[in-house]
Amino acid sequence: MRKKLDRRKKYTRKVLKESLIALLADDKPISAVTVKEICERADINRSTFYMHFSDPYDLLDHIESEIIEDMVAHLSHYRFTIEEESLKMTQKLLEYIAENRFLFQTLLVKNKDPAFEKRLMEVARRFMMSTVYHMNEADSRYLSTFVVSGAIHVIKDWLENDMDLPPEKMAALINRFANHGMSRLY
């Protein structure tokens, strides 16, 4: 009986998440999304929604937190002490984004959620700062902010252009820009 309830709870949360993402993908801002709309799309009662989430913002926060947790777990498998491994990590990150294309296009490009973008930046900065050696903390923080914000905007552009380059090529570009700046663009 317990497994059946857990399965039902997982299904309910899944359809609620999918419904909110679908509404956001239709260029509806989170501020205009109602619980009623989410429930109608999910074919779930409002009371069921409130058993899981307090409002659409709570649901969105839950979705974003799951993505961040999943990404951290995904990236934790890699070490970034040498440039080749950094390239592999960037490629794996872009592959993850490609696999979850609809979510990232919705949250980063269509919905332009600054909170989600900031959370992504914090994850990337944390991984990057752990590899910057021989630099004081302030310089390391500013360098990682500079590099990561540029990389996120490149990724957003890549998503807006329907991922016109494969993840491997995008990873090579981002790493080349980060490691060599404008000194070795070509």
Dump pLDDT digits (tens) for 60-88: 999 999 999 988 887 777 665 555 567 77
Rounded CA gap, 107 and 116, in Å? 7
For residue 29, report the phi and psi dihedrals to the nearest 5 degrees: -70, 150
Domain ranges of the chain: 2-53, 60-180
Q: In whole numbers, what is the pLDDT of the chain averaged over residues?
A: 84
Q: What is the pLDDT of residue 145?
A: 82
The three-state (H, E, C) secondary structure of 33-85, written as one string: CCHHHHHHHHCCCHHHHHHHCCCHHHHHHHHHHHHHHHHHHHHCCCCCCCHHH
Q: What is the pLDDT of residue 55?
A: 97
Nearest CA to 41 out of 49, 30, 29, 52 is that of 49
- Residues 126-136: what's their mean pLDDT? 63
Q: What is the pLDDT of residue 76?
A: 73
Sign of CA dihedral 34, 40, 42, 43: positive
User: What percentage of residues in the chain have a pLDDT greater than 70?
Assistant: 85
Residue 127 in this model has a pLDDT that exceeds 80: no
Residue 140 in this model has a pLDDT that exceeds 80: no
Q: Which residue has the higher pLDDT, 120 or 113?
A: 120
Q: What is the pLDDT of residue 84?
A: 58
Residue 57's pLDDT band (cuts 50, 70, 90): very high
Q: The tokens of 167 are what?
A: 């993840």
Quick one: 60-180 is in which CATH superfamily? Tetracycline Repressor, domain 2 (1.10.357.10)
pTM reported for the whole predicted model: 0.78
Rounded CA gap, 158 and 179, in Å? 19
Q: In CATH, which of 1.10.3470, 1.10.10, 3.60.21, 3.40.720 is domain 2-53? A: 1.10.10
Q: What is the pLDDT of residue 4?
A: 61
